[in-house]
Amino acid sequence: MFEMKLKRRSALLGAAGLLAAMSFAGTAAAITPEEIKAKGKLVVGIQGDNPPWGFVTSGGKQDGFDADMATLFAKELGVQVEFVPLEVNNRIPALTSGRVDVLFATMAMLPDRAKAVQFSKPYNANAIVLIGPKDKSIKTNEDMANMTISVAKGAAQDTQVTKNAPASATIRRYDGDAASIQALVSGQAEALGGNIFYLDRVEKAAPGKFENKLEFQKLYNGACTRLGEKELNAALNTFIDKIKANGELQKIYDKWMKVPVPQFPESIEGIPFTAK
């Protein structure tokens, strides 16, 4: 029992340490909005298989909530947008290494991540949940005892399930959202750590079998730039304020989320919205 707890704690500390280290190693040179305009395109890191946030259509087009956000920001800058589909665990390295200019990639605003990247103001609200069988009672964290739970490795749901599940639970970590969802619907896992928008995908794959059971954490998503990129961060914040005020953000919400734009916090502890 002690050994299992120690391994779980080490996994959490290791993930936090990795994120912090990224802010000091392998960071590309800063880029400004003017430099992006000069090259004529905005290179955006986005999730490639996580609807409704970011996914590739059957026609090969990148689409989703974050794709619409990024396309609108590129239009604001007067440039074309180029998408680079990413998995959960390579989003931050793709940014810090200079592979992409900015992340619109379902980036939950977490203090550990804020040590490695610069968040914008929030533009979306989310929640981390446990999805489980409709016929199984899961009302408290203790009800996850002895269960096998799938998660996307390194994502916020990995952190929350690891933190909240009893030591007797088996947590299986997969490379990305699609693989963790497939593990649930195929019977490799009994429950799934995800966000509030996972259930639609689960329902399509296994109609009528699963539901949201527990809510672990409310989260907000922000766009990410490299640390110290003051001008690009300022441009993103001005853009987000603008689309909140003129109704463009509500149009994107209407298209993908079917709910009103939430009230966003003016600040989040441990996460500055403005680059220093």
| Mean per-residue pLDDT of the chain | 91
Q: pLDDT-derived band of residue 26, with 50, 70 and 90 as boundaries?
A: low
Q: pLDDT-derived band of residue 28, with 50, 70 and 90 as boundaries?
A: confident
pLDDT at res. 30: 81
Q: Mean pLDDT across the stretch 158-162?
A: 97
Q: Mean pLDDT across the stretch 158-176?
A: 97
Nearest to 219 by CA among 239, 236, 194: 194
More confident site: 85 or 3: 85
Q: pLDDT-derived band of residue 259, with 50, 70 and 90 as boundaries?
A: confident
How is residue 8 written in tokens? 């779980």
pLDDT digits (tens, 9 = 90+) for 132-158: 999 999 999 999 999 999 999 999 999
Nearest to 123 by CA among 9, 22, 242, 213: 242
More confident site: 26 or 105: 105
pLDDT at res. 234: 98
Q: pLDDT-derived band of residue 217, with 50, 70 and 90 as boundaries?
A: very high
pLDDT at res. 29: 74
- Residue 81 contacts residue 191 (beta carbons within 8 Å): no
Buried b (16+ CB within 10 A) or exposed e, 120-141: bbbbbbbbbbbbbeeeeebeeb
Of the listed ranges 24-28, 130-134, 167-171, the one predicted with least confidence: 24-28
Whether residue 23 has pLDDT greater than 70: no
Nearest to 44 by CA among 67, 23, 28: 67
Phi, psi dihedral angles at 261 (to 5 degrees): -65, 130
Buried b (16+ CB within 10 A) or exposed e, 144-181: beebbbbbbbbbbbbbbbbebbeeebebbbbebbbbbb
Buried b (16+ CB within 10 A) or exposed e, 1-40: eeeeeeebeebeeebbeebeebbeeebeebbebeebeeee
pLDDT at res. 20: 41
pLDDT at res. 2: 36
Q: Number of C-alpha atoms within 13 angstroms, CB side, residue 119?
A: 24
pLDDT at res. 5: 43
d(CA 107, CA 44): 13
Whether residue 12 has pLDDT greater than 80: no
Q: Mean pLDDT across the stretch 192-217?
A: 95
Nearest to 87 by CA among 63, 68, 103, 64: 103
Q: pLDDT-derived band of residue 197, with 50, 70 and 90 as boundaries?
A: confident
Residue found under tokens 């799934």: 192
pLDDT at res. 27: 64
Whether residue 82 has pLDDT greater than 70: yes
- Residue 105 contacts residue 69 (beta carbons within 8 Å): no
Q: Mean pLDDT across the stretch 14-20?
A: 44
Could you tell me whether strands 80-86 and 41-47 are parallel, antiparallel, or unpaired per DSSP bridges?
Answer: parallel
d(CA 196, CA 262): 14
Q: Which residues, at least 6 apart from 102, have a Cβ–Cβ distance to it below 8 Å?
A: 42, 43, 44, 45, 70, 73, 95, 223, 224, 225, 232, 236
d(CA 157, CA 24): 25
